[in-house]
Amino acid sequence: MNQSLANRLRIGFAITFAVFAVVTIFGVGRLFQIRSNYEHDVARSYERELSVGQLQQAFQHERDAADLDAVMPTGAALHLHRAIATSRVIANTARSALEVDPESEAAFALRIKAQARWLALVTRGLANNRAPPLAREKVLADAVLKADREFAQREQNRRAELRSDVDGDTGVTALLVGIGFISGLVAAILLVSSIVSAVRRPLDQLVDAAGRLASGDLKARVAIDGPRETAALGAAFNEMADELQLAYRHVEEGHEQLAVTVRSLSDGVITVDEAGIVNDANPAARRLLPTVVAEVDIRHAISDLGSPEEIDRILADEGAGEISLEHGGRTLVIRASSLGEGAGSVLSVRDISERNRVERMKDEFVLTASHELRSPLTSVQGFAELLLMESSTLTPRQAETVEIILENSRHLVRLLNDLLDLARSDAGRLEVKPIPAEVEPLIMDPVRAMWAQADSKGQTIEVEIAEDLPLVEVEPDRIRQVLVNLITNAADYSPMGSKIRISARQVAERIEILVTDNGAGIPPEQIEHIFDRFTRGDAGITQRIDGTGLGLAISKSLIELHGGSLVAESAPGGGATFRISLPFLTEIRSATSSPAAPLADGRPTDA
């Protein structure tokens, strides 16, 4: 297993530190030893020179004690013997300092022999009670003094040699230490260079492979070698390259599948750049719009079918708009969707001619069937009402049957009326005839109509109308129809004894009418589809609500025909609120409308 870069650095630095430590210890120890030996040798040399000096002084005392100018003066012999004894003591001490130096010991022995010859001469003269020959004594004394001077000079020369030797040894030691340090430094540099080389080689391979991978060579890989870190990096790069190659293969497969899918679509697909120039179009688009080809401005390509402003509008509308074109007896719908910032847009072209034809046939069928069914149903309802007026002549069972016939015929008539309204709305034939109207009567008429139904369930209807509301331009019967639908819906989906609240107020440039109940509310998943056709809310397991599920859809269409809006708001368990918003007339304001104060039972009084 390859060592990690950190371990290599640790080992390298440890070896370098050990080399520097050994060289430093060796150098310091060597210098200390040289200095110690030098000081010891110099001290011994001075000690020998001092001993010889002391001998020279003792010799001088011996000469003085001998008093060679007289013959055995009184006490001369005693002084001489004392001086000789002192010289011997000094000589013995000096000899002990010369034991480790044979050359100095030999020179010292010659000096002692010279002094012994002088002493023998002097001693013989004194024994004969006469002075020794002065010339001979002077020669022998000079020999002793010369030996002392030579010994001292020799020691001085010896110390000079020691200084020279210690300087040389110090220089050699310093040179060796320097060589050791330089060797350690060179080794450290070589070690770092080897580590850098071991790291740089795989990094260079990674850089080269990354460049090839970026240029499109998905087979680029690197050898996994070098330190553990670079080996792990190389393995990660190879794994990334494998995943990238796999992802690219999937993208290519997906692109191919998408291309096949787009080519096989029955709807046209056109891609344009940010300036509206066509990049590509599938066969369906070229079949539906033969003028659309690559490198052509989409505005010019369909200029005969629609204005360029319409194309600009849907391109700038971020996919929320669409336009319809008539081409060759067909109706085409073009919708745009943005591909992203600066990436252009994609246009979908759909032929809805057949769908429009089927829708028209459906609307015509519903209108025709509703008209054809309403006449006989009206007759059945009329005859049932006549029979019910003569109920005294009928048996109880016959009277019950007539009531069932009347109730079901009325239900079918309401259903047919709802279907007719929806069919007219889909066909664009549903019209309203608005007139200026006051808000309060619009609300109070359906409320009065719903009192009986509310009383039967123990429910209370509360009305709150703001003061001095402006007139609205509406068709009263249609607004009454909407409010009856909303109040009925609130009563059906509220429990016994609950309250239904109707309020009206001015909000900015509109009149808002709110119908609120405190029932179970509308679940979030249902509120988005509450205005869809044939959709009914969940009333709970204890209630069963009859109806077709068309009332709210018709109500929304009628309010929108008046230029208003109808929205539902609810929270589970918090009831539901239906909010009607209608524009009002700004030129004429009602001078007679006033708030309706609720009675104790919740019914409003007439204003």
Per-residue pLDDT tens digits for 543-569: 445 556 778 888 888 898 888 999 998
In this prediction, residue 602 has a pLDDT band, given cuts at 50, 70 and 90, of very low
**Does 341 score more than 80 pLDDT?**
no
Q: What is the mean pLDDT of residues 481-489?
A: 89
Distances in whole angstroms, Cα of residue 335 to Cα of each of 179, 262, 267, 269, 323: 86, 16, 11, 10, 7
pLDDT in tens, 135-149: 777 787 788 788 778
**Does 76 score more than 80 pLDDT?**
no
DSSP alpha helix (H) spans, 437-475: 439-456
For residue 239, the Cα-to-chain-centroid distance in whole angstroms is 23
Distances in whole angstroms, Cα of residue 295 to Cα of each of 276, 282, 345, 348, 594: 10, 14, 15, 18, 67
The fraction of the chain above a pLDDT of 70, given in percent, is 78
User: What are the beta bridge partners of residue 570?
Assistant: 576
For 262, residues 6+ apart whose C-beta sits below 8 A from its C-beta are 269, 282
The residue among 202 and 565 whose pLDDT is bigger is: 565
pLDDT in tens, 531-542: 877 666 654 434
Which residue shows structure tokens 């249609």? 478
What pLDDT is recorded for position 302?
A: 72
Q: What is the mean pLDDT of residues 17-43?
A: 82
Longest dimension (CA), the chain: 207
Question: Average pLDDT of the chain?
Answer: 76
C-beta separation of 44 from 98 below 8 A: no
pLDDT in tens, 349-383: 877 777 777 777 776 776 676 667 767 878 887 87
Coil, strand, or helix at residue 215?
A: coil
User: What are the beta bridge partners of residue 350?
Assistant: 333
What pLDDT is recorded for position 581?
A: 93
β-pair type (470-474, 576-589): antiparallel
* DSSP-based helix, strand, coil % in the chain, nearest 5: 60, 15, 25
| Rg of the chain, C-alpha, whole Å | 65
What pLDDT is recorded for position 303?
A: 65
DSSP 123-151: HHHHHTTSPPPHHHHHHHHHHHHHHHHHH
Which residue shows structure tokens 């001015």? 506
For residue 382, the Cα-to-chain-centroid distance in whole angstroms is 76
Q: What is the mean pLDDT of residues 283-289?
A: 80
What pLDDT is recorded for position 192?
A: 77
What pLDDT is recorded for position 489?
A: 86
What pLDDT is recorded for position 580?
A: 93
Which residue shows structure tokens 């047919």? 416
Q: Is 415 exposed, middle or buried (0-12, 13-18, 19+ CB in 10 A)?
A: middle
The residue among 132 and 172 whose pLDDT is bigger is: 172
pLDDT in tens, 436-473: 999 999 999 889 888 888 888 888 999 999 988 899 99
DSSP 482-518: HHHHHHHHHHHTS-TT-EEEEEEEEETTEEEEEEEE-
What pLDDT is recorded for position 537?
A: 60
β-pair type (460-465, 499-507): parallel
Distance between CA atoms of 288 and 334, rounded to whole angstroms?
A: 11
**Does 600 score more than 60 pLDDT?**
no
Coil, strand, or helix at residue 268?
A: strand
Q: Which of 188, 107, 185, 113 is nearest to 152 (CA)?
A: 107
C-beta separation of 306 from 376 below 8 A: no
pLDDT in tens, 380-439: 878 788 887 877 788 888 888 888 888 888 777 777 777 777 777 766 667 788 899 999
Coil, strand, or helix at residue 16?
A: helix
For 586, other C-beta atoms within 10 Å of its C-beta total 9
Structure tokens at 334: 């073009």
Helix pair 228-264, 134-214: axis angle to 10 deg: 10
pLDDT in tens, 87-138: 776 766 666 656 556 777 777 777 778 777 777 777 666 666 666 677 777 7
For 309, residues 6+ apart whose C-beta sits below 8 A from its C-beta are none
β-pair type (499-507, 345-351): unpaired
Cα within 13 Å of Cα(593), Cβ side? 22
What pLDDT is recorded for position 601?
A: 44
In this prediction, residue 579 has a pLDDT band, given cuts at 50, 70 and 90, of very high
C-beta separation of 320 from 313 below 8 A: no
Per-position b or e across 132-151, b if 16+ CB within 10 A of its CB = beeeebeebbebbbebbeeb
User: What are the beta bridge partners of residue 470?
Assistant: 589
Coil, strand, or helix at residue 35?
A: helix
What pLDDT is recorded for position 100?
A: 57
What pLDDT is recorded for position 535?
A: 67
What pLDDT is recorded for position 593?
A: 38
What pLDDT is recorded for position 49?
A: 76
Most confident of 73-82, 212-221, 272-281, 509-518: 509-518
**Does 5 score more than 70 pLDDT?**
no
pTM of the model: 0.44
Which residue shows structure tokens 């008429």? 445
Amino acid identity of residue 555, one-letter, is: S
Which residue shows structure tokens 């998408």? 258
In this prediction, residue 514 has a pLDDT band, given cuts at 50, 70 and 90, of very high
**Does 2 score more than 80 pLDDT?**
no
pLDDT in tens, 307-337: 666 677 666 665 446 677 776 667 777 777 7
Q: How many residues does the chain have?
A: 607
Structure tokens at 237: 């790069």
Coil, strand, or helix at residue 3?
A: coil
Helix pair 551-561, 396-427: axis angle to 10 deg: 40
The residue among 212 and 595 whose pLDDT is bigger is: 212
